[in-house]
Amino acid sequence: MRPLHTFLAVLVALVWGVNFVVIEVGLDHFPPLLFSALRFLAAALPAVFFVRRPRVALGWVVLVGLVLGVAKFGLVFLGMDLGMPAGLASLVLQVQAVFTAVIAAVLLGERPGPVRCAGMAVALGGIGVAAYDQGATGPVAGFVLVVAAAVFWGLSNVLTRKAAPPDALSWMVWVSLVPPLPMFALSLLVEGPEAGLAALRGLDPAGVGVIVYVAWISTLFAFGVWGFLLRHYDASTVAPFSLLVPVFGMSSAALLLGERVTPLSLVAAVLLVGGVALASLGRRGAGRGVPPVPGAAAPPAPAPAPGAKGEPDGPRPVPVPGA
């Protein structure tokens, strides 16, 4: 990659890592379900007028919007609201790569090779260490909800792969149109109208800044840059940069929120990130590309250069990460 493009890839990982800290701050201003609804509303409404609808069936957009936007992000925000630390959340969510492989094996009949299986086992060992550490130092419920969010993230990855959107930004913008209404409804039912109205009446510059970051910087800017990189490089070149997300997430949470990094959490980080990297290398060695880590459909095999003999017809599906 060119130096500028390498810088952009690292910048996107930084943006997505810091996003967990911003979510933690936002939960001091908004109830979790309302916060999630506002995130998607602010991301989708301005952009949908400028971004063309992705060339996929509308049913895929709605389905992934419900699985990724409502289930996955709703559980993440609820888990963090129940006490899951921001840095640990950024790490634990990476287990979605394991759930993606398992769901793909069940629904798509894919069979991971021995190297990928070894990597998945190491990553699950990291989750076990993180669970033990969290159980000893904090609420378990938040941890369980974030792991459940990773399951839904894995499911959305497989669905995204089946939908095969050709552009990451347009896909994310249109998927973001789906969650606001059901999330607002869930917020009214679970959190009550009084909590939502109180949060909106007390909206201050910090609350506005949080929404701007999670909607426009973490979603529109980051996905726009990620999509740009994927249009210029093979997914196996771009996707490994997503392994930096938990590194930036844990370090920024320690620096900005004062979260304590325990020795066990460091062990969990090494096991989980190392296991996901091993699984990714195993997939690459099989000639099928590296699956993106922070929540994306597994990429197809690299396509021939434009105009080359044997170039596939139709749009190429792209991996769509997120944070």
Whether residue 12 lies inside any domain: the answer is yes
Please count the structural domains in the chain: 1
Give the per-residue pLDDT at 239: 76
Q: How far apart are CA 295 and CA 92, in angstroms?
A: 12
In this structure, what token pair is assigned to residue 24? 């933690």
Output the pLDDT for position 137: 67
Per-residue pLDDT of the chain in tens (323 residues, 90 and over written 9): 888 999 999 999 999 999 999 999 999 999 999 999 999 999 998 788 888 888 899 999 999 999 999 999 999 999 999 999 999 899 889 888 888 888 988 888 888 788 888 888 888 888 888 888 776 666 788 999 999 999 999 999 899 988 888 888 889 899 999 999 999 999 999 999 999 999 999 999 999 999 999 999 998 899 889 888 888 887 777 877 888 888 899 899 999 999 888 888 888 888 888 888 877 666 554 433 333 434 333 333 333 333 333 333 333 444 445 55
User: What pLDDT is attached to residue 318?
Assistant: 45
Q: Does any domain span residue 20?
A: yes
What is the pLDDT at residue 287? Answer: 39
Burial class, 291, CB count within 10 angstroms (exposed 0-12 / middle 13-18 / buried 19+): buried
pLDDT of residue 291: 37
- Estimate to the nearest angstrom the gap between the alpha carbon of 3 and the chain centroid: 25
For residue 315, tell me if it sits in a domain: no
pLDDT the model gives residue 63: 96
- Scored b (16 or more CB within 10 A) or e, 215-237 reads beebbbbbbbbbbbbbeebebbb
Q: Give the integer Cα–Cα distance in Å for 60 and 67.
A: 10
Q: CB–CB of 33/78 below 8 Å?
A: yes
Q: Please enumerate in sequence order all residues whose Cβ is within 8 A of that of 6, keeping only pairs 6 or more positions apart, or say none.
A: none
Say which amino acid occupies 56: V
Domain span at residue 177? 3-285
Whether residue 306 is contained in a domain is answered as no
Does residue 291 fall inside a structural domain? no
pTM passes above 0.85: no
Q: Supply the pLDDT for residue 283.
A: 57
Name the burial class of residue 204, with classes exposed (0-12), middle (13-18) and buried (19+) by CB atoms within 10 angstroms of its CB. exposed
Q: What's the burial of 72, exposed, middle or buried (CB within 10 Å: 0-12/13-18/19+)?
A: buried
Q: Is 317 domain-assigned?
A: no
Rounded Cα distance, 176 and 47, in Å = 10
The pLDDT assigned to 40 comes to: 94
Q: Which residue has the tokens 């399951």?
A: 151
* pLDDT value for 265: 84
